[in-house]
Amino acid sequence: MRYPPQDTPPDAGAPEPPAPVEGDDIDLAPPLTRPRRRRIADVDTLVPMPFALVFALAAMVALAFGGWLWWLTSGLGDPRETLTKTLTVGVPFSFALWIAWLVVSIAVVQRLGRTLVPVDRLLREAGLACWPLFLALGMAIPAVSFSVGLVAIGGWVAATQAALARVAGRTGRGVLAANLAGFALWCVVMSLLASGDHAIAPGPFVAESIWEAVTSQWIVVVQQ
C-alpha cells in the first residue's frame, strides 16, 4: 500500500477560486480585526454614555472659557456679561449643534457607504474625541490666542474623524465627507452667533466678535 507524501497539503488537488473580475460587487472595506473589535468593546464597557456626554460638555466649556480669556485682552464690553452669555447660550448651542453634527455624519455615511453606524457607540467615541478642545484654554496667551484656538478646533475635527472611522469600520472619502458635512453645519451656525454686540460663540469665533466690535466703533468715530 502506498501512502501520500507527508509534505503534500490536504487541499493540493482542490481547484483554486476564480479571480475577481471587474464589475463584481465586492466590499473592499477592510473587516474589523480582532484587536479593533476588542478595543471598541472595551470602550462600550468602560465608558458610560453619561460620562462621554459630560466629558464633551466640559470640553466645550473649556473652549468657551478660553475664548472669553482672549476677549478680556480686547478691553471691549463687560467681561462678566460676555462670560455669562457664552456659558449660558454659546455652550448649549455648541453642544446641540455637535449632536446635529453627528446626526449629519451618520446620515451621510449610511447614504454613501451603506454602512450602519451604531448611534450609542458613536456618541461614546465622539464624546471622548472632544479632548482637543481643552487646548483652547491656552488662548489666554495673547501672542498665540487665535492659533491655539484653530489648533483646538482642528484637533477636534481630526479626532472626530478617527472616531467616526472606527465606529463605521471603514475609511475613505465617504467618511471624510460625512465628518466635514457635520462640521460645516456646526461652524456656520457658530459663526452666525459671533457678533460685536452679542459675543456668545465660543473659542476662536471670538475673533469675529472682536473685529466687528472694533470696526463698528471705528465707523462711529469717523462719522463723528
More confident residue, 126 or 44: 126
Give mean pLDDT, residues 153-160: 96
pLDDT higher than threshold 90 for residue 196: no
Ordered by start, the domain boundaries in the chain are 48-215
- The angle that helices 145-168 and 206-223 make with each other, rounded to 10 degrees, is 140
Tell me the pLDDT band of 219, cut-offs 50, 70 and 90. very low
Tell me the pLDDT band of 44, cut-offs 50, 70 and 90. low
Q: Sign of the C-alpha dihedral, residues 45, 49, 54, 55?
A: positive
Residue pLDDT, tens place only, 96-124:
999 999 999 999 998 887 778 899 999 99
For the chain, first and last CA: distance in Å? 114
Q: How many CB atoms lie within 10 A of CB 55?
A: 18
pLDDT at 23: 42
Tell me the C-alpha distance between 207 and 149, whole Å: 10
Stated pTM of the model: 0.72
Tell me the C-alpha distance between 52 and 120, whole Å: 10
Tell me the C-alpha distance between 74 and 77, whole Å: 9
30-39: long-range contacts (C-beta < 8 A, 24 or more apart)? 30/170, 31/169, 32/169, 36/166, 39/166
More confident residue, 139 or 4: 139
CB 174 within 8 A of CB 184: no
Residue pLDDT, tens place only, 161-178:
999 999 988 888 889 999
The listed range with the strongest mean pLDDT (6-10, 17-21, 101-105, 207-211) is 101-105
Rg (CA), the chain: 25
Q: Sign of the C-alpha dihedral, residues 140, 145, 146, 152?
A: negative
Tell me the pLDDT band of 80, cut-offs 50, 70 and 90. confident
For the chain, the average pLDDT equals 77
Tell me the pLDDT band of 24, cut-offs 50, 70 and 90. very low
